[in-house]
Structure 1
Amino acid sequence: MATNRDKDEVQKELFVPLERQEDTSEDITKPSRSFFQDARRTFFKNKLAVVSMILMAIIILMSILGPHINEFGLDDQDLSRAKMPPRVPVIEDMPILGMDGTLESEFKGDDVEEASQKAVTRYNNDEDFVDINVLSKGDGSADSAEVSASYHIYQAKDMQSEYFWLGTDRLGRDQWTRLWLGSRVSLIIAFVAAAIDLLIGVAYGAISGYFGGRVDNILQRILEIFIGIPKLVVMFLLLVLLEPGIMSIVLALTLTGWTSMARIVRGEVLKQKNEEYVMAARTLGQSNRKILSKHLLPNIIGIVIINMMFSIPDAIFFESFLSFIGLGIVPPDASLGSLINGGFKVLRLYPFMVLYPAILISAIMISFNLIGDGLRDAFDPKMHK
């Protein structure tokens, strides 16, 4: 413990009184940000969500511009160029990428000669354009010999000057054009269905949750009827009764997709309607319509946006599923589901016909889910730092 003598020896010059400055005493050390500014800042910290947003922007842009990049149209078909493999300038010199314009497969036989003959027969007996590589000479037993064959189909058909970037389908239609037109159709169906779900679900859920009582009971019983009917049953019935097409798919998705949005909005409105700002608005004499549109909905917009982002990939999946089983988009129109359906029938022989639509639909669904995850974190105040 310091003595009085020690205190006296302390130099007074070491203590400088703090002078209060009126002009800086209440300065804010950091710039203030609104909730949406914080949400945007949190979202852009999520690298996966940002990359997914960039990827989706590229896919949407390509769905608009992609079909016009080459000279082939949607219905430009020619059976003489059917099932042509992908061939891209410059990249064709890199066979590892699988875009060199050759068909490759493996064949087995009792000996090398038999396996080679199977390969030549499989590729239209164009022996001059088939390269045989012996994988196994065999031991004399059944199907012990194995060869790999590369068929130079562009040279065989005298089409060295032609390039089909993603190959052609069984009718000779360019897969690049149909892929991006199909993605455009799938995205349009998904966005329109999600927008209609948003309008119906938000209005239905907000009215049910805000007014409560008998109104809520009646609306919720109606909602439970819709929820109790399986989605696929409703979709199948509608698409069987209606002519297949974009409008019938949108109608089927709308009738079955708005219920989840309505339940989420109702729950949020029930939590918010007893808050002080709503009571203040009622005290000031504002109408129910203004309270809902100007006070309640802006405070639940975050959860609405998040739910909408997750509903878009669901709509794309159901559209693709319906088109895959033949109840959705029908030829000559294209969607991602119909393209996968066409390629699935010849998957073992021409895998490129199903590969690229499958990659694109997977990229779209994963991107939307990652964007939804990023938005969920962005609209969560606990994640703001």
Structure 2
Amino acid sequence: MDELRVLLQENLNTEFLSAVLSNPRIKDGTEKVKVRPLLKKGTLFFQVETFRNRQAFHENLTAPQACEALARQMENMKQMQLETQKNHYTVLVSKKGKVTVKKKAQTGKIRPAELSHDRKKHYILEEGTAVPFLVDLGVMTKEGKIVHARYDKFRQINRFLEFIEDILPRLERGRELTILDFGCGKSYLTFAMYYYLHELKGYDIRIIGLDLKREVIIHCNELAEKYGYQKLKFLVGDIADYTGVDRVDMVVTLHACDTATDFALAKAVGWNAKVILSVPCCQHELNRQIQSDVLAPVLKYGLIRERMAALVTDALRAEYLEREGYDVQILEFIDMEHTPKNILIRAVQNGKCGENQESIKKCEEFLHVSPTLKRLLDHKGEV
């Protein structure tokens, strides 16, 4: 960890903007750590925000204290994103403790660090900087203030971007990255992705949004042209039949209904996508299949059966992705348009295939289910 300590010592100063430590090896402890600079009575501190058991704990530390605290935290973390006014650093720590540091000069729009002690919760898209698509969406005023009645939408967009922030180490720099958004709909999260990755982070990205609603696609293309987003395109098409690209780095599927999510996930695996973000909905398929003599007293209640089938559907989707060589997390996603809380499946490629096949098979047999995603993956895209 000596190299990491040197990096922290050199950058915990007035040019420091932020750091995020994530992807813990031990899942029952600290989940994430965020760091920001803080000016208190003329002295520079670093506020360390530790997320544990759905709670956030704060410490204001001096530079030497913060250096030691973060070095200790990284003993259990696989990655860290550190940003200064001049550079962006990606720190990766192997199982054996080997530290790899990747340095990239800042190319996006960098805002000054917020040093105030009494401030609102930090968001990736901060109030005070007008974002064109948020203004058109009615979430922001032209002056960059959040419209009170649209604050939930503002929180949702930022929450989605936090999921992307965590996986930035898996996205290569130095070449064009292709991102596919299946079932993009009105595309406010698609625009948010483009703005965050290209405008703020300086990635060379091409995003393709796909949806069946022609009028919506026309409108989204008009907005992309209006904002000058040259590599953001929207197409009319079906998830199952799309063959417009050969290589995809990230696949996003938000609210693809029922088995449309399975087709999107199977496409992502077939393209060898490094990252998959999926918010499923309307999981009806297993509700028709699930049977169990042991669970019969529970499954006879329609509402309970429906909810259990939905949870089993998404849990098995996660297992199939793990079988195909992905690290998978099921996360809580705030979604104000559909239900108060939703599930997001985040999968990041690790290359370790086939380690949980037997346990999946036992679960399928116990519940008498054969999900579409299983059949698609087993038969290379054919149901």
**Same fold per TM (> 0.5)?**
no
Which structure's residues are more often helix, by fraction? 1
Greater RCO (Cα-Cα under 8 Å, separation 6 or more): 1
> The TM-score by the shorter chain falls in which range?
under 0.3
TM-score (norm 2): 0.23
TM-score (norm 1): 0.23
Which structure's residues are more often strand, by fraction? 2
Larger Rg: 1
